[in-house]
Amino acid sequence: MTQIDTASERELDRLIQEAGERLLHYWPGTVVKHADKQLKIETKTDGSPVTCADIESNEILIKGLRELFPGDGIFSEELYNDPALSTQTRVWIIDPLDGTKSFVEGHDDFSILLSLCVNQSIEFSMMYFPARKKFARALRGRGATLDGVKLEVSKSDAFRERSIYLRHIPVPDEKCFYDAWMDAGLAFLSLCRGTLDGIVMRLIHHQEWDLAAPVLMIEESGGKVTDEFGNPLQFNKGPIRYGYLVASNGILHPQILKLISQ
């Protein structure tokens, strides 16, 4: 287990909240009447959007992490990532704005994801939802919390109504499937809270920064996360080589894996 001391945790809290406040200065949503800067949007080579808010949040996080942990590597969506990072023991994996499309459309389910990877295993993670002021954290072997309250997956041994979320997969006309769009970060958190029983995501443009923090959060809430073959996920080993992320309350994992082959 990797220890993050109390002083470092406080600094990480401050850092991620500072980045969240910067995002809100650009966010066009209506829940928080906060935006006072013009949001500039560009398109990446893969067709996904990137905004000046992504970039500024990224700069805040990287500057802070380099000051707090000068010997650690940093792997970020908005940074050139040297392949040599895979040889480092400790690497911070960050997504300065998870759910950029949702953010641009004014929805409040966007988040900031931050995690520490040690020897290919995620040992510490944070998920912050600035517009909702929701803060989740997990430490390997110590559990996960949302605003200080322990997170626990459901104990359901059968599919409940609207409890299985599918992403980039056709949704069957059955009551157990959640039939509306949800940003991935909120979906993962819903599984940790026991609202959802399972998630199956076909990975199209997803990278490690989308997955690392939520994976530990789910595991430390009592759930399970694997690829489509039931193998546990490892990080900081180069490009993702699996096609699906499958997450569940653990009890239903075998049944949820079968959804991919149907």
Strands (E), 208-262: 224-226, 244-248
> Among 217, 259, 212, 261, which residue's Cα sits nearest to residue 234?
212
Q: Which amino acid is located at 203 in the chain? A: L
User: What residue has token string 């500039």?
Assistant: 40
User: Using an 8 Å Cβ cutoff, are 162 and 178 in contact?
Assistant: yes
Question: For position 1, what pLDDT does the model report?
Answer: 41
User: Using an 8 Å Cβ cutoff, are 110 and 166 in contact?
Assistant: no
For the CA atoms of 228, 201, 22, 77, what is the dihedral angle to 10 degrees? 50
The Cα–Cα gap between 226 and 245 comes to: 6
Going by C-beta distance under 8 Å and a sequence separation of 6 or more, which residues neighbour residue 132? 31, 108, 109
pLDDT average, residue stretch 215-242: 94
User: Using an 8 Å Cβ cutoff, are 196 and 163 in contact?
Assistant: yes
Q: Which amino acid is located at 36 in the chain? A: D
User: What residue has token string 């994992």?
Assistant: 253
Q: Which helix (H) or strand (E) holds 217?
A: helix 208-220
Collapsed DSSP state (helix, strand, coil) of residue 218: helix
pLDDT average, residue stretch 77-102: 88
Tell me the HSE value of 52 on the side-chain side, using a 13 A CA sphere. Answer: 7
Angle at which helices 52-68 and 6-24 pack, to 10 degrees? 160
Number of H helices, E strands in the chain: 6, 13
pLDDT average, residue stretch 182-210: 93
Q: Does 201 have pLDDT greater than 70?
A: yes
User: Using an 8 Å Cβ cutoff, are 58 and 78 in contact?
Assistant: yes
Sheet containing 73-76: order of strands: 73-76, 90-98, 111-118, 121-129, 134-139, 143-146, 149-150
User: Using an 8 Å Cβ cutoff, are 13 and 21 in contact?
Assistant: no
Sorting pLDDT into bands at 50, 70 and 90, what band is 35?
low
Question: Cα-flanking dihedrals φ and ψ of residue 16, to 5°?
Answer: -70, -30
Domains defined along the chain, listed by start: 6-150 (3.30.540.10), 164-261 (3.40.190.80)
Position with higher pLDDT, 48 vs 94: 94
Q: What global pTM score does this model have?
A: 0.91
Strands (E), 99-207: 111-118, 121-129, 134-139, 143-146, 149-150, 164-167, 198-202
What percent of the chain lies above the pLDDT cut of 70? 94
Summarize pLDDT for 115-135 with one digit per residue, the tens. 999 999 999 999 999 999 999
Sorting pLDDT into bands at 50, 70 and 90, what band is 183?
confident
